[in-house]
Amino acid sequence: MSDTLIKIENLHRYYADTHAVKGISFELHQGQVLGFLGPNGAGKSTSMQMISGVLAPSAGRILINGIDLLDNPREAKNQTGYLPEKPPVYPELTVDEYLTYSARLRNIHKSKLTNAVDDAKQRCGLTQVGRRLIGNLSKGYQQRVGIAQAIIHNPAVVILDEPTVGLDPIQIREIRQLIADLGKQHGVILSTHILPEVQAVCSHVQIINQGQLVFSDSMESMNQQLQCNQLIVAFIRPPEEKFLLELKGINHLDDLQNGRFRLHVENDHSTAELIVSTSAEQNWGLIELTPEKQTLEQIFVELTSSDLSKENAA
């Protein structure tokens, strides 16, 4: 049996004349936590709503565990659990009442209701608050209740839309750990615009901007790209740029003024050694040599800003 839990093919969504989602395609596999990253208004929530079956696509195909969402919506939706940005909880119900209600909506047999509720509470850290009113719980615990309803029927895929918005740092850490745990048993799609969230819990990352996927890769590959590939150097007697560019391993440089440069290099270790030795030989007076790592934020800004510039230019 294939481990492909979600297969998205050429997905589009229009709102009147607005083309909100423009032909995105990707796959989610068993055990993956996919970070769906993008600025506000990029099309993240619209994409999540289509994948979860809340919103119909204008064009394209969505397969959930091999089931076509448009052809067999009820069967496909049984394979997914969805937490929208605002948790769909009822503050006047207790946690137990709400999760029992959610289980019944998911057609869980009466004989299995209690076990399903207890399992969801245990996995989401809600065992001690089952009899408390949801309205009296903290925002973090309400978010846990929202996640519990999303997994109560043990779906193959869990879709979480901005699950940590409005939480304090301790609550954020707890929800991130919960998401990481969910990723061990389900495929998880995490929609967010919070960059540290992706690095903390995701195994794969996709960046969407203006309705289009502009980046898709594993976090392992991403981390390799984030390795040090820049050096900040400063000289008392700075050489002309052409002499620095002649050194092996330096692709290009940025003049930071006052004898400081940012060097974009192929191998920071060997290039650093070469800079030190050359500076000594040429009496440049090297006074600073600092490795500088590229960040996910830099990649994100570069991709989204460059795409925005292209769109405006067009």
Residues 70 and 140 in one domain: no
221 vs 106, residue with greater confidence:
106
Query: Side by side, which strands form the sheet with 204-209?
Result: 80-83, 157-161, 187-192, 33-37, 204-209, 212-218
Give pLDDT tens digits for 140-183: 999 999 999 999 999 999 999 889 888 888 988 999 999 999 99
Give pLDDT tens digits for 260-299: 999 988 766 788 899 999 999 999 999 999 987 767 777 7
Give pLDDT tens digits for 55-72: 999 999 999 999 999 999
Cα 11 from Cα 62, distance rounded (Å): 8
The mean pLDDT value for 193-203 works out to 86
What is the predicted pLDDT for the residue at 55? 93
Question: Where residue 240 sits, what CATH number does that domain have?
Answer: 3.30.70.100
Amino acid in position 155: P
What is the predicted pLDDT for the residue at 280? 95
Residues 211 and 258 in one domain: no
What is the predicted pLDDT for the residue at 314? 42
Residues 208 and 59 in one domain: yes
Residue of 213, 155, 261 whose CA lies nearest to 8: 213
The answer to whether the beta carbons of residues 235 and 279 sit under 8 Å apart is yes
What is the predicted pLDDT for the residue at 225? 66
195 vs 100, residue with greater confidence:
100
Copy the structure tokens of residue 246. 């002649």
Residue 1 has pLDDT above 50, yes or no: no
Q: Specify if 201 maps to a domain.
A: yes
Neighbours of 268 (CB within 10 A): 19
Give pLDDT tens digits for 75-133: 999 999 999 888 899 999 999 999 999 999 999 999 999 999 999 999 999 999 999 99
Residue 7 has pLDDT above 90, yes or no: yes
Q: Which domain holds residue 270?
A: 227-292
Cα 86 from Cα 49, distance rounded (Å): 13
Residue 312 has pLDDT above 50, yes or no: no
Q: Specify if 84 maps to a domain.
A: no
Residues 68 and 188 in one domain: yes
Q: Specify if 183 maps to a domain.
A: yes
Residues 187 and 93 in one domain: no
Number of domains observed in the structure of the chain: 3
Q: Specify if 313 maps to a domain.
A: no
What is the predicted pLDDT for the residue at 268? 60
The mean pLDDT value for 234-248 works out to 94
What is the predicted pLDDT for the residue at 237? 96
Question: Exposed (0-12), middle (13-18) or buried (19+): which is 189, by Cβ within 10 Å?
Answer: buried
Residue of 205, 206, 231 whose CA lies nearest to 220: 205
Residues 264 and 120 in one domain: no
Confidence of residue 309 (pLDDT cuts 50, 70, 90): very low
Confidence of residue 226 (pLDDT cuts 50, 70, 90): low
Q: Give me the phi and psi of 109, to 5 degrees please.
A: -60, 145
Residues 204 and 234 in one domain: no
Residue 307 has pLDDT above 80, yes or no: no
Q: Specify if 247 maps to a domain.
A: yes
Question: Where residue 49 sits, what CATH number does that domain have?
Answer: 3.40.50.300
Three-class secondary structure assignment of the chain: CCCEEEEEEEEEEEECCEEEEEEEEEEEECCCEEEEECCCCCCHHHHHHHHCCCCCCCEEEEEECCEECCCCHHHHHCCEEEECCCCCCCCCCEHHHHHHHHHHHCCCCHHHHHHHHHHHHHHCCCHHHCCCEHHHCCHHHHHHHHHHHHHCCCCCEEEEECCCCCCCHHHHHHHHHHHHHHCCCCEEEEEECCHHHHHHHCCEEEEEECCEEEEEEEHHHHHHHCCCCEEEEEECCCCCHHHHHCCCCEEEEEEEECCEEEEEECCHHHHHHHHHHHHHHHCCCEEEEEEECCCHHHHHHHHHHHHHHHHHHC
Task: Compute the CA torsion angle 135, 140, 143, 148 (nearest 10 deg).
Answer: -100
Q: Specify if 101 maps to a domain.
A: yes
Q: Specify if 275 maps to a domain.
A: yes
The mean pLDDT value for 183-200 works out to 87
Confidence of residue 227 (pLDDT cuts 50, 70, 90): low
Confidence of residue 41 (pLDDT cuts 50, 70, 90): confident
Residues 101 and 143 in one domain: yes
Residues 191 and 234 in one domain: no
Residue 52 has pLDDT above 60, yes or no: yes
Residues 72 and 163 in one domain: yes
Q: Specify if 299 maps to a domain.
A: no
Residues 107 and 74 in one domain: no
Residues 5 and 125 in one domain: no
